[in-house]
Chains A and B, each alone.
Chain A
Amino acid sequence: MSFLDYAPAPESTSPLNLRDDYGLFIDGEFVAGRGTPFATISPATERHIANISTANDEDIADAVAAARRAFDGPWSKMSGRDRGKYLYRIARLVQERARELAVAESLDNGKPIKESRDVDVPLVAAWFFYYAGWADKLDYAGLGANPRALGVAGQVIPWNFPLLMLAWKIAPALAAGNTVVLKPAETTSLTALLFAEILQQADLPRGVVNIVTGAGATGAALVGHPGIDKIAFTGSTAVGRAIAKQAAGTGKKLTLELGGKAANIVFDDAPIDQAIEGIVNGIFFNQGHVCCAGSRLLVQESIHDEVVDRLKARLSTLRLGDPLDKNTDIGAINSRAQLDRIRALTAAGEAEGAERWTADCAIPDAGFWYAPTIFTNVSTSDRIAREEIFGPVLSVLTFRTPAEAIAKANNTPYGLSAGIWSDKGSRILAVADKLRAGVVWANTFNKFDPASPFGGYKESGYGREGGRQGLAAYLDAPGSTPRAIPAAAPAPAITEVAESGELGRSEGDKSTPAEARKSAPAAGRKSTGAKK
């Protein structure tokens, strides 16, 4: 037995009291969906957890109608103070049931219990607590006195931080006075349904929050429903693009938080111990299922070998396995589909000539797993340097000068996040100024806070979540011009809204000057998501 061997320390599942079947949460009650139910499984064992309903178009219509009644009825007439009190109640109930939620999240999503327990769920409570205080202070949100709620918000969230993304969406929407129809990701519906129970315990007026489960078609039906006023989506850039097309001309307000390929820049004067931990946290946190993950390590050439050696040593100490074990660092990949995608992209990395190193760790027999992997000798044009892998895979590139680091960091159609590691504050601030990314972490990475706005530049989407800017995404300025809506503008129908980080195609050429591209103005209505 080496020092790496720990006795198993599984978190107890006793706080869980799951049902066999979950319905949709519409108008304050659980109702059976009219679509075909599906099973949710533990990605660590592939074992069945519960049956989940699928909402069909009629269910979506019911949910939107319930949200509209709640908006026209109690919710828009309620004082901000009382809306805030409901949000405070929710925050407290989340704290009370924190262990149960963390266990359910790790079971359903596959993320290590130490992350769901210490990051996801505490942030969920913090998000509701933060926005609760805004509900009666909207006049100070920067939009002038008496800003207006938008109405019914349709929200579609991904599977990587299921309950946290729910909180990012619901808390500001309710604080601003909107009502909500939210669709969790197909593989991670469980904690959203437990959250619905919390809403019942909080006695939130019926219909203010409705939760509809299902796959891509359910999400597409929700964002395409004419009865919603606002769309908030977190997920892949490909789906975000399709939603933006579908929403064109409808007057629906849109917030998109999409993919990323963040550069994590390490200068030769960086505090190296912290940098190593930060690189590991940047890409191996949550199995790399993080849109803002530091998936491209840009390391100054002079310290490349040292950094890579120390990374390999550190990764060799990470424990991969049972997400419910308190000692686990790397949990399960969320689904077989995502595992297949990671395998395909890493195979492309090898085929394009990058050198692969994978931590030597035992992989459990059942479930979906991917050992921490580093690619060195990566070229900027390689797929693993351009496409979002959304897995525990780090691509290492080098630079010599700050200007080269900045150019390489910005050489992507994405612009969600970036990291800088250096002991020199003036250099950090200068580099941060030049990075085209919505969140820049200096000598840290993957930090989130409800008071801190989060969101992307360029093709990582638009709008911000968190802070007063996140609140503004659910408000209209008083007296603002109603949005123009053309008489007849049938937008392209999208048939599926998948929430994964997956991208259906290479975006490798996007940052080239557009001169060479673009053969025809898009006759967009015909060519839904098709790209030249």
Chain B
Amino acid sequence: MTHLAVPKTYKLAIGGAFPRSESGRVYAVNDAKGAFVANAAKGSRKDARDAVVAARAALKGWSGATAYNRGQVLYRIAELLEGRRAQFVDEITRLEGVSAVAANAQVDAAIDLWIWYAGWTDKHAQVVGNANAVSGPYFNISVPEPTGVVAVVVPQGSSLLGFVSVVAPPLVTGNTVVAIASERLPLSAITLAEVLATSDVPGGVVNVLTGSPAEIAPWLASHADVNALDLAGAEGLDWVDLQIAAADTLKRVLPPEMGADAAAQSLDRITAFTELKTVWHTKSMI
């Protein structure tokens, strides 16, 4: 008896659910040799807006969780990534046309990167915040807080590692994310969203849109309820226009990064999506 395979339907990930695009559109995702692999949802402006609504709704809970709790939740993602290894390797080998060894190496790197970021949740404030020695009887302290809803254009040339390298950092401090996946290599992003849904990440904390970044990104760049924009993977887009649109609401913007170490592991990627709050409190005269 042979088993006829049951292919997966790749959908969007919005608010903890996996809807099709409201537009009803899909596009064909092909393997490295051009053969059909799957239909991915072609996300629309309305999908992008729905994702922002979901991300905003999730912000209070995620940013309000203790740093220790966020750290454990993020660590658990790495555990589940490990369990799904075979599926990621399959997607990476087919779409990127690389060997299983190379695909495994990418999964290894993604898992390790995820763990590195997970460990920062309860340390970041100690490293970038501080007490301030002001001239007067005041307790004065500066602490980083999440910026809010972060829209991300994921590096386009990588199935899994690129996605992790830009989605993990803003999550550390409690931001929520709307990510536009790689247009040509979207499958692992959706599979990762399935990992997130079965770990303890609350719905809406990470939302994944597949489709055309050129079509979707302008809606996110100009969206007044998006606080920051990471253009890491936007080098192929008209990203200056995106930055100009983002200036309308004074979003924090990270420019495109190119090359082998694009969006490399760094503390700066965490800090870029935080706001420093300084609190003054009087001390009584005794």
Q: Judge: A and B partners, yes or no.
A: yes
**Residues on A facing B (Cβ under 8 Å):** 126, 142, 237, 240-241, 244-245, 248-249, 251, 256, 258, 413, 415, 425, 428-429, 432, 437-444, 447, 449, 451-455, 457-459, 461-462, 464, 467-469, 477, 480-481, 483-484, 486, 489, 491-492, 510, 512-515, 517-518, 520-525, 531
Nearest B-chain residue to A251, judged by Cβ: B255
A449 in complex: contacting residue of B136, B256, B279, CB < 8 Å:
B136
CB distance A444 to B221 under 8 Å? no
Min C-beta distance of B168 to chain A, whole Å: 19
User: Is B3 engaged at the interface, CB distance under 8 Å to the other chain?
Assistant: no
The 8 A CB mask of B145-159 against A (1 = contact, 0 = none) is 001000000000000
Task: Classify chain B's interface size.
Answer: 35 or more
Assuming A452-B134, A469-B142, A514-B223, is B278 touching A524 (CB within 8 A)?
Answer: no
CB distance A518 to B224 under 8 Å? yes
CB distance B248 to A447 under 8 Å? no
User: Is B116 engaged at the interface, CB distance under 8 Å to the other chain?
Assistant: no
Assuming A449-B136, A462-B252, is B244 touching A492 (CB within 8 A)?
Answer: yes
CB distance B136 to A447 under 8 Å? yes
Min C-beta distance of B280 to chain A, whole Å: 5
B282 in complex: contacting residue of A240, A256, A442, A464, CB < 8 Å:
A442
User: Is B31 engaged at the interface, CB distance under 8 Å to the other chain?
Assistant: no
Nearest A-chain residue to B221, judged by Cβ: A521
- In angstroms, Cα B245 to Cα A33, docked, is 36
CB distance A524 to B244 under 8 Å? yes
CB distance B240 to A522 under 8 Å? no
- In angstroms, Cα B137 to Cα A443, docked, is 12
CB distance B276 to A469 under 8 Å? yes
Min C-beta distance of B124 to chain A, whole Å: 12
List B contacts of A459 (CB < 8 A): 249-250
Given A429-B279, A442-B279, A515-B49, 4 new contacts (CB under 8 A): A240-B250, A441-B280, A452-B132, A514-B223
List B contacts of A241 (CB < 8 A): 247-248, 250
Min C-beta distance of B131 to chain A, whole Å: 9
The 8 A CB mask of B53-87 against A (1 = contact, 0 = none) is 10010000000000000000000000000000000
List B contacts of A237 (CB < 8 A): 250
**19 contacting pairs across A/B (C-beta < 8 A):** A244-B250, A245-B247, A248-B244, A249-B239, A428-B281, A432-B279, A441-B280, A443-B281, A443-B282, A444-B138, A449-B132, A451-B132, A453-B276, A453-B278, A484-B255, A510-B249, A514-B224, A521-B218, A524-B248
CB distance A440 to B280 under 8 Å? yes
CB distance B244 to A525 under 8 Å? yes
Nearest B-chain residue to A278, judged by Cβ: B282
CB distance B222 to A518 under 8 Å? yes
User: Is B6 engaged at the interface, CB distance under 8 Å to the other chain?
Assistant: no
CB distance B244 to A245 under 8 Å? yes
- In angstroms, Cα B136 to Cα A441, docked, is 13
Min C-beta distance of A179 to chain B, whole Å: 24
- In angstroms, Cα B53 to Cα A245, docked, is 26
User: Is B112 engaged at the interface, CB distance under 8 Å to the other chain?
Assistant: no
List A contacts of B227 (CB < 8 A): 458
Assuming A449-B140, A491-B240, is B276 touching A455 (CB within 8 A)?
Answer: yes
B243 in complex: contacting residue of A249, A515, A521, CB < 8 Å:
A249
Assuming A438-B276, A438-B278, A452-B142, is B243 touching A531 (CB within 8 A)?
Answer: no
- In angstroms, Cα B225 to Cα A481, docked, is 29
CB distance A256 to B250 under 8 Å? yes
Min C-beta distance of A21 to chain B, whole Å: 38
List A contacts of B56 (CB < 8 A): 513
List B contacts of A520 (CB < 8 A): 222
List A contacts of B248 (CB < 8 A): 241, 245, 522, 524, 531
CB distance B258 to A484 under 8 Å? yes
- In angstroms, Cα B266 to Cα A193, docked, is 43
List A contacts of B278 (CB < 8 A): 438-440, 452-454
- In angstroms, Cα B245 to Cα A524, docked, is 6
- In angstroms, Cα B135 to Cα A521, docked, is 48
Nearest A-chain residue to B139, judged by Cβ: A442
B222 in complex: contacting residue of A425, A453, A521, CB < 8 Å:
A521
User: Is B128 engaged at the interface, CB distance under 8 Å to the other chain?
Assistant: yes
User: Is B101 engaged at the interface, CB distance under 8 Å to the other chain?
Assistant: no
Assuming A142-B128, A522-B248, is B277 touching A248 (CB within 8 A)?
Answer: no
- In angstroms, Cα B249 to Cα A457, docked, is 11
CB distance A477 to B268 under 8 Å? yes
Min C-beta distance of B46 to chain A, whole Å: 10
CB distance A457 to B275 under 8 Å? yes
Nearest A-chain residue to B45, judged by Cβ: A521
- In angstroms, Cα B231 to Cα A249, docked, is 12
B136, B224, B244, B279 — which one has the most chain A CB atoms within 10 A of its CB? Answer: B244
- In angstroms, Cα B248 to Cα A531, docked, is 8
A518 in complex: contacting residue of B134, B147, B219, B282, CB < 8 Å:
B219
Nearest A-chain residue to B250, judged by Cβ: A459
- In angstroms, Cα B135 to Cα A438, docked, is 20
User: Is B133 engaged at the interface, CB distance under 8 Å to the other chain?
Assistant: yes
User: Is B235 engaged at the interface, CB distance under 8 Å to the other chain?
Assistant: yes
Assuming A142-B128, A525-B244, is B277 touching A444 (CB within 8 A)?
Answer: no
User: Is B198 engaged at the interface, CB distance under 8 Å to the other chain?
Assistant: no
